[in-house]
Structure 1
Amino acid sequence: MSADPDAGPDIEANAETETEIETDRDTDIGTANTMRERSNESRVKLWATMTGNRLLITGLLALSFFIGFVVVGEWFVPNFESTIHSDSMISYMFSTMISAIVTGTTLVVTISQIVISQENGPLGDQRTRMSNTMDYREYTEEMIGSPAPADPSAFLRQIIGATERRARLLRDSIAGNDDEQLRAEVDDFTESLIENAEEVRDELEGGSFGSFDVLNAALNYNYGIKIFQVERIANDHPEDLTDEDMSILDDLKSTLSMFGPAREHIKTLYFQWALMDLSQMILYTSVPALLVAGSMLGFFDGLSLPNTTFGVSNTILIVGAAFTVTLIPFLLLISYIARVATAAKRTLAIGPLVLRESQR
């Protein structure tokens, strides 16, 4: 049978495509590790949603709202002052805010009850929780070869240090292998893992639970894709790997797998801590917000004010400042939930599941 003369270019094109795919796969062993590299988002956005101090973010939101209110009232609503003194505008604005503050405070109490309810339970449930925790710690102690620390940041550092040690063992074990491609893949993979481990351990050093620093550092350890790479190396080179090599790969996979539930547990504890902080802050700020709203309802019409300050109407300044103060509980909610929601979104999957297009 004669060959199809048109098939040659297609076969060559397919072969080139397969070669490109194989080459890309080989060069992608060292993957993006930090959260910013994986998300392809700006530092400003990550700071605003994740790493920035929540009280500072709330203050910036309040300042931005106040400035925006004054700018709109002064330059885009020329009859603002006459409008605010008529048609019961003050009464409408601040009576609505009183209702919103009371409703929001009730919501906060509900959130607190939900968080607290997760800690309550009969003796049997508490015993099961304790037993599962101790089983995990005992397994971790066997893996790291030393007692598991009680401090969350030190606990994560120990697990990450164990993955780093096993990565070095893997690199040394494969160094004398005859397969050049396997050596290159393992070198790239272990170099990426060791570099990521050293960076995250430095970030965890001195971190105290309650702040976002511990969880933020843990999010920078891209353990899921590392598990996948271990599985892929073992699957692609079964004939080139010795029993000792496979044993080291299995140990490395097990150690990486232990980091997942440890991070998720610390993340859960941080979420509960943050929501309780949020509840307290909203309760603390609700009282002055109600006081300001009530004062504006009762006393604003009787105030005698100079017309302007620095060329801006004092009426606009006072109404804008008062309205901003009444919004602070809501702005606190925005700043805290932005962090919790962003962290939750970035950790939806546990294990070697890649959800972001930038990591595929």
Structure 2
Amino acid sequence: MTDRQGGSDDDDNDDGEGDSIGTENTMRARADESRLKVWVLLSANRLGLVALLSVLVFASLIVFSVVLYPSLQLSIQRGDTIETGFTTMISVIVTGTTLVVSINQLVLSQENGPLGDQRRRMSNAEDFRTYTEEMLGSTAPSDPSNFLRALVAESQDRAERLDRLIHESDSAPDELQEQLEEFVDSLDGNAETVREKLDGSQFGTFDVVYAALDYNYSWKVFQVDRMVNEFGDSLSREEEEAFHDLKTSLTMFGPAREHIKTLYFEWALVNLSQYILYAAVPALVVAGAMFMFVGDGSFPGTTLGVDDITWVTVGAFTLTLLPFFIFISYIFRVATVAKRTLAIGPLILRDSQR
């Protein structure tokens, strides 16, 4: 029996006929994406990615000015070229920074509201925690990573209990036992991978959300429903309750993950606004200095065969792009996570494993 374990929500799938029950343990493996693409979109440190983009743009412009378009160096040495280019960049920086920060504040405005709305939010959060504590039989952890680990561990325990019941049953069909064994093996492997990633992860970093994406509860809920519908006539009342208990623990993971994901998005948008503002000020200073003080004859020498004015202009232009690099590095991650978690519940949007 092939044990293809693990998964993350909207990343799997299959035709739903029960011929492929197990899944890979990680989102990347299920989506069959290259490591480089996943690193750029999700796992790379966002400021590290900004630095990488800056280096790539700087190097590309230098190569372009020397190899592909040598006359660019002559154009740069004309004062009006620098003046026109950096005047435009000043306008772009001011407009773009204001727009991005305004949009972020609009998104975060949902956190503000009258007392009644805040009371309802608190009541809903407490109701969810109370229900979770009843399911776990203990106090629900307050740390997001430990909270998700507890839910994953509970679904793992309930799956193993169900597996024991079915294998000890005299009436359970052999086909159900085989499918459930593959399903539980897959769930165990996926759960262990996710719990290991969540161990020690701190909210505020992307680690908690990234680990949660690996647990494909949607596919597991679908498989539980399918097995109950297909073999329901042969199940005892205790076995039906065990299937229901497993489904309950899996479905609890969905809203918990979505809530933590939403909190991370808000956290990331706050960081994005701050970093763009931090980068915008030196970018404006550099653009203004180039516009006012740098022109023809300001840097007459050459370094490594490239005119010094070209080094200075390309470097200054790259620095003025920092707010934009910060923006796209964060949007890469936020948009990718949002796309991979559009559905909640047993809806599979991707066909990567068909």
Is the pair's TM-score, using the shorter chain for normalization, greater than 0.5? yes
Q: Give the number of the structure with larger relative contact order, counting CA–CA contacts within 8 Å between residues 6 or more apart.
A: 2
TM-score normalized with structure 2 length? 0.92
Q: Alignment partner of 1:88: what SS?
A: helix
What is residue 91 of structure 2 aligned with on the other side?
A: 99
1:173 matched to 2:154? The reply is no
Q: Tell me the distance in 2 between the aligned counterparts of 1:359 and 1:309.
A: 53
> Which residue is equivalent to 2:12?
none
Distance (whole Å) between structure 2 residues aligned to residue 151 and residue 212 of structure 1: 14
Structure 1 range deviating more: 270-279 or 35-44: 35-44
CA distance in 2, matches of 1:65, 1:302: 24
Q: Is 2:309 the partner of 1:319? A: no
Compute the TM-score of the two structures, normalised by the length of structure 1: 0.91
Instruction: For residue 318 of structure 1, report the CA deviation from its aligned partner.
Output: 0.9
The more displaced of 300-309 and 214-223 is: 300-309
The residue aligned with 1:342 is 336
* Partners of 2:297 and 2:133 in 1: CA distance: 69
Give the direction of change, closer, same or farther, for the CA distance of 1:168–1:138 in structure 2 (3 Å limit): same
Report the CA distance between 1:303 and its aligned residue.
5.5
Letter in 1 for 2:113: G
Structure 1 residue 24 displacement after superposition:
9.3
Aligned to 2:52: 60
Give the distance between the partners of 1:296 and 1:242, measured in 2 at CA.
79
Q: Report which stretch shifted further, 72-81 or 291-300.
A: 72-81
Q: Aligned-pair distance for 1:121?
A: 0.6
Note the alpha carbon deviations across 1:266-325, whole angstroms, 9 max, x for none. 000000000100000000010100000001011112654353212222222111100000
Q: Does 1:281 align with 2:275?
A: yes
| 2:29 equivalent to 1:37 | yes
State which structure, 1 or 2, has the greater radius of gyration over its C-alpha atoms: 1
1:77 is the counterpart of 2:79: no
User: Counterparts in 2 of 1:145-294, with a 5 A limit?
Assistant: 145-178=137-170, 179-294=173-288
Match of 2:40 in 1: 48
Superposition deviation, residue 26 in structure 1: 4.0
Counterparts of 1:40 and 1:239 in 2: how far apart (Å)?
A: 38
* Alpha-carbon distance in 1 for matches of 2:334, 2:19: 34
In the TM superposition, residue 115 of structure 1 has moved relative to its aligned partner by 3.5
Q: Deviation at 1:39? A: 1.4
Deviates more, 1:178-187 or 1:257-266: 178-187
Instruction: Provide the rounded CA distance (Å) in 1 between the counterparts of 2:18 and 2:33.
Output: 26
Structure 2 residue 354 is the aligned partner of structure 1 residue 357: no
Q: Which residue of 2 aligns with 1:125?
A: 117
Q: Distance in 1 between matches of 2:18 and 2:276?
A: 52
Give structure 2 stretches of 5+ with no counterpart. Answer: 1-14
The number of equivalent residue pairs is 339
Superposed displacement of residue 32, structure 1: 3.0
Question: 8 Å contact 1:111–1:275 — kept in the other structure?
Answer: no
Amino acid aligned to 2:45 = N
**Structure 1 vs Structure 2: percent identity of aligned residues?**
53
Find 2:301's aligned residue among 300, 303, 307: 307
CA distance in 2, matches of 1:196, 1:185: 16
Indicate the larger mover: 118-127 or 174-183.
Answer: 174-183
Root mean square deviation, CA, Å: 1.7
Deviation at 1:108, TM superposition (A): 2.9
Tell which deviates more after alignment, 162-171 or 115-124. 115-124
Are residue 143 (structure 1) and residue 135 (structure 2) matched?
yes
